[in-house]
Amino acid sequence: ELKINWYELEKGYTNYAEGCGRRWAGIFYLEEGEVHVYTKTDTFVLHPGDLCFLPQGLKHYTVSYGRPHVKFFDLAFSFRTMHDTTFDQSFPCIKLKTIRGEQARDRLQYIFGRFNGSDQEKLLAISEFYRLFSDIIGEIQSESKETIHPVVKKAMNFIEEHCLEDFSMADLANHCLISESRLYHLFQKELHRTPVSYKNRLRIKKAFALLNQTNLPIEEIAEKLAAGVPYVIRQKIPETGTTTFF
């Protein structure tokens, strides 16, 4: 699912996302004003031109100051698969360096301007979102790996290299020289997901790349991702204007 909103506020305000945290992951771009982001483990300040990533489920609050206005884009998204792959708190809340300033603003304006238009314009907006996400996912992933347990890092590297192949949990545990139960426990503790869910997320990333870089039909992309791929990507544009990916 994909939603994008453009906000312009006359005065500063405080926004709380506590309790269960953010419902969706999000990409936040600040055009005017100043925003202070507070999480359980970190605090940072966004200035005009800054782009940041907010993971799904993040418990946080923001304090915004208008000078004289607060203007920002909030692009929220959620990917649905049979194994419930999400961009949750196993990913960091970070200020992005890959894309910022006018480049970030222009790309988000392009998505916003077309997402609420005709069906063809919605498809153009979705395609640009794929490209934007592909450009920043490397930075998000590299940040998430910095403090991960060495055994989990080894398992992640193996999954990344062999994500299109069929391998069992036993194969992965043998590669890491650890028991299956211990590996499963460490993976859940460090990443808040299972090895299978992590593998499926990588397949989604490869699907994005193929959708962006080729003209292959979705059925052929699913076949390339491996036999028995556990999800099929399709789009639906209901009356609400929300685009859903399964």
What string of pLDDT tens digits covers the 246 residues of the chain?
Answer: 788 888 777 665 556 554 445 678 889 999 988 888 887 767 889 999 999 998 887 777 788 887 678 888 888 887 764 444 556 666 778 888 888 888 999 999 999 999 888 989 999 998 999 889 888 888 887 665 556 788 888 998 899 888 878 889 999 999 999 999 999 998 888 877 889 888 887 877 777 777 777 787 767 776 766 534 444 444 332 332 333 332
225, 228, 230, 234: CA torsion to nearest 10: 60
Angle at 38 between CA 37 and CA 40, to 5 degrees: 145
Q: CB pairs under 8 A, 24+ apart, for 43-46?
A: 44/95, 46/95
The pair of three-digit structure tokens given for residue 155, joined into one six-digit string: 């398992």
Other Cβ atoms within 10 Å of 241 Cβ, number: 13
Q: What is the pLDDT of residue 68?
A: 73
User: Distance between CA 215 and CA 204 in Å, rounded?
Assistant: 17
Supply the pTM of this predicted model.
Answer: 0.55
CB 26 within 8 A of CB 35: no
Other Cβ atoms within 10 Å of 123 Cβ, number: 15
Per-residue pLDDT tens digits for 33-90: 888 888 776 788 999 999 999 888 777 778 888 767 888 888 888 776 444 455 666 6
